[in-house]
Amino acid sequence: MIIIIEKAEDMSRLADKAHKKNLTVGFIPTMGALHKGHIKLVKASKKQCDFTIVSIFVNPTQFNDKNDLQKYPRTLDKDIEMLFEPSTDIVFVPQEEEIYPYGVDFENDLDLGGKDLPLEGKFRPGHFKGVAQVVKRLLEIVKPTHLFMGLKDFQQVAVVQHIIDRYEIPTKLVPVSTMREKSGLAMSSRNARLSEEGKEKAATIYKVLSSIVRNYNKRPVNYLLDKGFQKLKETGFETEYLSVVDGHTLQEISDLNDTDYAVVCVATWLEGVRLIDNMIIKQP
Ligand code: PAF
């Protein structure tokens, strides 16, 4: 049985009960339009925690493009249906006023340690301020012991880890590897907006990233990035960035000897849909 909760107050009260019983509480924040990638997070939580909570809230403050917010798929009934099978315990579906009781505020002065500035930061200014704001608020309400987040949003995971450390939030962040279609395309709520042909083409992103990972010690990074950029262009993508970054700092690097943690990240457009993905080249 799934319990559906709408009020922040009720959610906190239930979380307090779980803490009193010393239960571990796993939390998966989502914006709905669930897919198998989200279900993988739920399953990871079910495995590690006594209690699993999923939130569904399309957070307006993280959309720097109003069009994107309007077009964001909203599929609540189907989402809840998908959460039955992995036996989710609670689905938290707050209205805006539960999350932002003093009104939606697009400005905040959370310290993100600069983790928001590279990569996405150059193309979606303010996006991670909104993400940090809503995740911090959700963590205050849900008070989970564990937070499960997908590594497809590599920079988001880094930003959230920063706020957990910076604001001493007693939650352990558990990053979960990206779930992919058979073609290699990273699962994303946004894929629903691609045509069938678009989905096939979008698998090129995976091919490009894999090729960079395979060849990083054979060719200079910049050569591989140029080739990848070109391949995406030929396939019809408009690419915002294709960069190799230090996994600790998210700063671009061109010499992989400079770090023990390197990740190749991409953001690119196809059929009016913005797709992001990444692959770890080397990990400490
Ligand atoms: O990754 C997402 O779906 C969102 O950024 C999150 C973490 C649910 C915050 O709104």
Q: What is the average pLDDT across 191-213?
A: 97
Model pLDDT for residues 79-98, shown as the tens digit of each residue: 999 999 999 999 999 999 99
Give, to the nearest 10 degrees, the angle between helix 154-166 and helix 127-142.
60
Q: What pLDDT does residue 65 have?
A: 84
pLDDT at 64: 84
Centroid of ligand 1 to alpha carbon of 53 (angstroms):
14
Span 129-168, pLDDT tens digits: 999 999 999 999 999 999 999 999 999 999 999 999 999 9
Per-residue pLDDT reduced to its tens digit, 17-73: 999 999 999 999 999 999 999 999 999 999 999 999 999 999 999 998 888 899 888
- Ligand 1 binding pocket mutation candidate from 131, 133, 148, 277 (most atoms within 8 A of CB): 131
**Which atom of ligand 1 lies nearest, measured to the CA of 150?**
1
Which domains are delineated in the chain? 3-176 (3.40.50.620), 189-277 (3.30.1300.10)
Q: Is residue 162 among the annotated active site residues?
A: no
Output the average pLDDT for the chain.
96
Pick the residue whose CA is nearest to atom 3 on ligand 1: 30
Cα 126 to ligand 1 centre (Å): 14
Beta carbons of 82 and 92 less than 8 angstroms apart = no
277 within 8 A of 209, measured Cβ to Cβ: yes
The rounded distance, in Å, linking the Cα atoms of 107 and 268 is 27
Contact 4, 31 (CB under 8 A): no
CB–CB of 209/186 below 8 Å?
no
Length of the chain in residues, anyone?
284
Among the options 38, 127, 146, 162, which is catalytic?
A: 38
- pLDDT-above-90 percentage for the chain: 94
Q: Which candidate, 18, 6, 17, places its Cα nearest to that of 146?
A: 18
Q: Which residues line ligand 1 (CB under 6 A)?
A: 29-31, 59, 62, 131, 134-135, 153, 156
* Predicted pLDDT of residue 166: 98
Dist CA 199 CA 161 (whole Å):
31
- pTM, to two decimals: 0.96
CA of 32 to the centre of ligand 1 (A): 9
Q: How far is CA 145 from the centre of its chain?
A: 19
Contact 26/46 with Cβ under 8 angstroms?
yes
Q: Determine the Cα–Cα distance for residues 58 and 5; give it in Å rounded to an integer.
A: 16
- Return the closest-CA partner of residue 232 out of 280, 200, 270, 264: 270
pLDDT score for 36: 96
* 252, 134 Cβ separation under 8 angstroms: no
Q: Where are the beta strands (DSSP E) in the chain?
A: 3-5, 25-30, 51-56, 90-92, 146-150, 172-176, 238-246, 262-270, 273-282
pLDDT for position 72: 87
CB-CB neighbours of 137 under 10 Å: 18
Percentage with pLDDT > 70 across the chain:
100
